[in-house]
Amino acid sequence: MRRIMTIMLLVGCLLGAGIPMRAQTYQPTFPAEPNSRFKVSLACEPSEAGNLTGGGWYMYGTQVYINTSARSSAYTFDYWEMDGKRYKDSRSFYYQVTDKNVRLVAHYTYHEPEPEPYNPAFPSEPVVVEPVHKIVKSPLYLVSAPSGACSFNRTSGALVEADQQVSVTAYPNQDFVFKGWYQNGSLISTSKTINYVMGASATTLTASFTYNPAFPTEPVMDEEKQEESGETVDNGQNGTLGDVNGDGVVNTADAVLLMNLYLSGDPEKQLNPKVCDVNGDGVVNTADAVAIMNNYLKQ
């Protein structure tokens, strides 16, 4: 009996001194158990976006420096998330360890990087050149038939951009009456001023006139009467051999005009053999254009 009382007295003394018995479990509500460690886990979203520092196991109450940095300029930091909620907006901060494990996620936004310009280290390497839209310009020839019947508001043979609309006017000289504009032998307008849309190749527009003097005593012979009488119609090609456009000079412009008229498919109506058959073979074709060009280059 005395032994039992002694044991009970000893137990009471131990409990009074705050010394736990071996069978008793330590379960404090606050603070955490002594020497307890808690895990701070770090992650990125996307996983390859950034570098992380500060993760690990720490004792309760420890101040931990958390930091993240982007791995490339293609990623921009947005915010930190903890337990599925937005936590911090700065890339770095101090976190005080509590009595539980936590997981912090750094969120990043991906931006498609701009392509870097090609800058070779050695001149022999190929150079990337951006494609340039080429502007197509072609000559617009203006011909008076007969030669000297009019003047124009623009220079014959001046270059015009493809698909550009140009205003062309024929100013009749004295005693000449305007009949119409012709292209490749076909009438396209009876107005002295036309708005012509330029194509992608050299073009010739012919202003046709009838000689109609003011005095009846002067001879009057228009194209229709000339054709009925069998005489040659004055189409601006009744002058010097090779002067196809009738401007009084034989040069490359005549060769180009002859080529264009020939390729129109009906050269007989526009090409006078007496002027255009330069090589003298009895046929007006591209060979005569070549002959004009050769003769011009020999000058």
* Pair 143, 170: CB distance under 8 Å: no
Q: Which residue has the higher pLDDT, 66 or 223?
A: 66
Could you report the per-residue pLDDT of 46-92, keeping only the tens digit for each? 999 999 999 999 999 999 999 999 998 889 999 999 988 999 999 99
Higher pLDDT, 243 or 52: 52
How many Å apart are CA 69 and CA 262, to the nearest integer?
Answer: 75
| pLDDT > 90 in the chain, percent | 41
pTM of the model: 0.34
> What pLDDT does 220 receive?
41
Q: Which two tokens stand for residue 197?
A: 């849309």
Ramachandran sector of residue 152 (left: φ over 0; alpha: ψ -120 to 50; beta: rest):
beta
> What's the pLDDT score for residue 222?
43
The fraction of the chain above a pLDDT of 70, given in percent, is: 75
- Of the ranges 17-21, 24-28, 52-56, 254-258, the best mean pLDDT one: 52-56
Greater pLDDT, 22 or 137? 137
What's the farthest any 2 CA atoms get from each other in the chain? 172
pLDDT digits (tens, 9 = 90+) for 159-197: 999 999 999 999 999 889 999 999 988 999 999 999 999
Comparing 95-99, 216-220, 295-299, the range with the smallest average pLDDT is 216-220
* Structural tokens at position 78: 């947005």
pLDDT at 123: 61
Mean per-residue pLDDT, 212-238 = 49
Domains of the chain: 36-113 (2.60.40), 136-234 (3.10.20), 237-299 (1.10.1330.10)
CB count within 10 Å of CB 196 equals 18
Long-range CB contacts (within 8 A, 24+) of 295-298 = 295/242, 295/250, 296/250, 296/251, 296/252, 296/255
Give pLDDT, residue 141. 94
3-state secondary structure the chain: CHHHHHHHHHHHHHHHCCCCCCCCCCCCCCCCCCCCEEEEEEEEECCCCEEEECCEEEECCCEEEEEEEECCCCEEEEEEEECCEEEECCCEEEEECCCCCEEEEEEEEECCCCCCCCCCCCCCCCCCCCCCCCCCEEEEEEEEECCCCEEECCCCCEEEECCCEEEEEEEECCCEEEEEEEECCEEEECCCEEEEECCCCCEEEEEEEEECCCCCCCCCCCHHHHHHHCCCCCCCCCCCCCCCCCCCCCCHHHHHHHHHHHHCCCHHHCCCHHHHCCCCCCCCCHHHHHHHHHHHHHC
The mean pLDDT value for 243-257 works out to 83
Q: Residue 42: pLDDT above 80? A: yes
The residue whose two tokens read 């800058």 is 119
Tokens (6 digits) for 289: 């254009």
Q: What is the CA radius of gyration of the chain?
A: 50
